[in-house]
Amino acid sequence: MATSINADFRQSGPESGRTFRQQASTTPESARFQTPDLQLAPSLVTVLQCWEFRIANGWFFGVQEVAVLPRVYRTTSLSEGVQIMGTEWSPHHIHVPHDDKLTLRFSIRSISKGMSLSSLSYGTQVVVRPEERADVILLQMPRLGTGRVSHGETDTAFDSAHYAVIDVNRVSTVQYGPDIDMLVLRIKMSTLRDYAERTLGFRPEQDFSFAPCISQGSDTWSAFSPVVAALDAMQRDPSATFPVPTLQAIESMVLSTLLLTQPNAYRENLRSPASTAPRHVRKAEEFIQANLNRALTTEEIAAHVGVSVRALFDGFRSFRQTSPSVYARHARLSKVRKDLVDERHLSIAAIAHRHGFSHPGHFSEIYMQRYGETPRQTRRSSSSAS
């Protein structure tokens, strides 16, 4: 027997109590969900699609599989915009300079309990400041326009060639240009920790400390590009529904790409579970770590561990998803990054030279590709954090 799920939108303010109702037909009887009440302003009849549920085949969490359509909002009211964003994300202040007119266009689709995908534009320049901190990461991916995120005294610009990785617990303000139009992934830290725990065998407790930018040309950008294309296609068709197994696959793809490619506190552990790699790969890693003061050749590493260059290359490709030379370079860059923070009395050039980077220009270029920021920005960021 078919049942129905009602999503109620109750008004706030002087005329509170009046309800706009949208009904979505579902089946079967067992698939009942409690939908939250969203306290929205009276004129918010601009909600186009909200909380429509459709049933597909299969099972998920003990009930039949449910795919949720995006919730789509349009408003020119600043107070309504603040209310929408506070309800869907977390409470934050939106400031519109020069009394310009806000034209908020916002849609949000749930991928899982711990991840959502949104499309967002403001139609004017705005400055956003959190009022309540949420334990989430925002991956902001502009299709058009520019923005700038501030963490204390450190600013990171982002645009269509530089995506922002924002830790909401640490951010001070985010400024958006008037033509910003972006995709936004909102990921709960608990979801990241759950995923990492399944690989590491222990639960990460310290901050992930993601590098704040994903720059075009970096390893992360190359790995993330097909993911972004899929997300963009998903968000551009608000009428499309997706089976839950598809959404689960998308969530896994996002989490693995972010954790394994974007620099963070656990990336090397996640990429290099020692128990799975053969002896010659682990021995090569030990040799690399013992020689971070110089650039090793693949031939030299292979000779040390007693295997052919081909065997060494195949081992790293299979178990580390990279080549021996790239692994060695990244290990040296990682040590440079650590020393930039720990040994502030040494110059950047001295630290780079100590780890085999003798050409400052080339070093700065590959460091930027790797971490999405310059060595000087790394040092400045660590200084402001301390």
pLDDT, tens digit, 9 for 90 and up, residues 304-342: 999 999 989 988 887 777 899 999 999 999 899 989 988
pLDDT, tens digit, 9 for 90 and up, residues 175-191: 999 999 999 999 999 89
Answer whether 129's CB lies under 8 Å from 93's CB: yes
Report d(CA 47, CA 71) in Å as an integer: 8
Number of neighbours of residue 10 by Cβ within 10 angstroms: 14
Question: Does residue 270 register a pLDDT over 80?
Answer: yes
Q: What percent of the chain has pLDDT over 70?
A: 78
> In degrees to the nearest 10, what's the CA dihedral of 314, 316, 322, 327?
-140
pLDDT at 273: 57
Peptide bond just before 324 cis, omega within 30 deg: no
Picking from 93, 66, 67, the residue whose alpha carbon sits closest to that of residue 78 is 93
Token reading at 315: 């081992």
pLDDT at 29: 29
Token reading at 329: 């370079």
Token pair 């920021």 is found at: 373
Picking from 303, 293, 360, 353, the residue whose alpha carbon sits closest to that of residue 328 is 293
Token reading at 308: 């052919």
- Which residues in the chain belong to E strands, given as ranges? 3-11, 19-26, 38-40, 53-60, 63-68, 71-75, 92-95, 104-112, 115-121, 126-130, 136-144, 147-151, 154-158, 162-167, 173-176, 181-188, 213-215
Provide the pLDDT confidence category of residue 201 given band limits of 50, 70 and 90.
Answer: low
* pTM of this structure: 0.58
pLDDT at 229: 93
pLDDT at 274: 52
The alpha carbon of residue 18 and the mean position of all alpha carbons in its chain are separated, in whole angstroms, by: 38
Provide the pLDDT confidence category of residue 26 given band limits of 50, 70 and 90.
Answer: very low
pLDDT, tens digit, 9 for 90 and up, residues 59-69: 333 333 445 68
3-state secondary structure of 18: strand
C-alpha angle 81-83-89 in degrees, rounded to nearest 5: 95
3-state secondary structure of 70: coil
Provide the pLDDT confidence category of residue 351 given band limits of 50, 70 and 90.
Answer: very high
- For β-strands 63-68 and 53-60, DSSP reports them as antiparallel
Question: Does residue 19 register a pLDDT over 60?
Answer: no
Provide the residue type at 386 as one letter.
S
